[in-house]
Chains A and B, each alone.
Chain A
């Protein structure tokens, strides 16, 4: 594992320049360019806010009544959507990580961790941008710069989340080489997962329906709580949740390294 990490570090210039190229080529010939990364989460939450807060009158959050509740909901939703879409796109794009880089794999034996890293770095940059939008929006909605005070509790969690997403992308990439339908299963599965996860609604709704176990077992909920609670509600989550987050990440990263170690001498014969 350490040898693997060292090799990833040795080739850092290689994958970092590819990440930079991916970013540039993604917005080639686009007028707004990287502005889309900012605009996309904003537009998404505007739509959801309109639907859920205005049309369906979702309850929860601020007890102060309608306008305050609406503002709380916008921040809550945007934060949740950003975290979710980082995890979801990392896994979905991660599926193609090895197949897309087949040319390199067939030419030069690089550590396999590099390829998922390339894709997750790409989505991670968009995630960081949308998190910055979230923090700004929460400050605007609440009218105070208070959320900035809790950033120190959020930033380490973002690092954890990044590692977690890399692990998911690695697992998805290897699974896809052996079973090409994985990409489609991930797509369908994540749709289902999205509605089972308290992203658009507070977790109390699921708990009230008697599906508490579903919430407790959901790995995404841990990260949602660790990031959303300090930013949107302004309170620190329980220490127990932090422990859960660390254990979860370590387990996923361990699994990913285990998979690389297990398959790195075999996967080429299946591509």
Chain B
């Protein structure tokens, strides 16, 4: 049984303005020098509540830096929530940072095996699926050469073929549909629909509004790490579009027109457009 339950989830990154902490900083911090390299808290997600059950296909839209990818990574378990609780049941498969996690020196065949094991397969089940994966990826003899020499499109083909071959229960996708060539995109969409037919849970982050409207049955509009609006895809998309094209570019942080009545939760205070930076305590 696949299920997602986020309750009041917050995700805050604490970073330093300069990535490096100098030796001087180590020695003098807290003594008499005011730190020139203060910690900055980035609130990627705040007070986010979301429940999804089997059969839900959720599309997530929002500006760059609204917290869409952070939400996916939190769902995948890569980032533990810094506030609230996260419950995700079911075998998770994530399609993001897709070029990562390949062993560049190993061949395509080997990488199919590694990644399948990573997704919880065993040698017995993998051997049955490798041919199927190879066929779907259409990479042919390229599977014999190290992944290092693959183009990014080929990498996406391979990653997509593997990840969608293992019948995940919870599928998390971050705009992979835009990658690959036209033929593969059509194929990928076809396979997505097949996966949806088997009634699994899916969360899709995309900027491609038509795809979202075709595939998803629920949509979420994220802004500044909070849910701006949640509901039927066409309604949410309409409100989102209105906020962009509506009466001239809206001042950053102001609630977009048309969102008021349907809004589930609003950010408590107006915040700058991209992310939200505040000095950490």
Contacts and interface: CB of A to CB of B under 8 A. Distances in A.
Interface residues of B, number: 27
B273 interface: no
Nearest to B111: A21
Nearest to A103: B100
A269 B78 contact: no
Nearest to A18: B114
Interface of B: 13-14, 73, 76-80, 94, 96-97, 100-103, 105-106, 110, 113-114, 117-123
Given A18-B103, A21-B106, A105 B118 contact: no
Contact of B103 (A10, A21, A105, A268): A21
A134 B266 CA distance: 70
A21 B14 contact: no
A25 interface: yes
Contact of B118 (A28, A108, A268): A108
Interface residues of A, number: 20
A122 to B, nearest CB: 14
Nearest to B146: A25
B80 A107 contact: no
B105 A14 contact: no
A21 B101 contact: no
A155 B96 CA distance: 44
A67 interface: no
B14 A108 contact: no
Given A107-B94, A108-B94, A108-B101, A14 B78 contact: no
Interface of A: 10-11, 13-14, 17-18, 21, 25, 28, 103-110, 265, 268-269
A14 B76 contact: no
A108 B78 contact: yes
6 contacts: A13-B122, A14-B117, A21-B105, A103-B100, A104-B118, A108-B101
B98 to A, nearest CB: 9
Contacts of A268: 78-80
Contacts of B122: 13
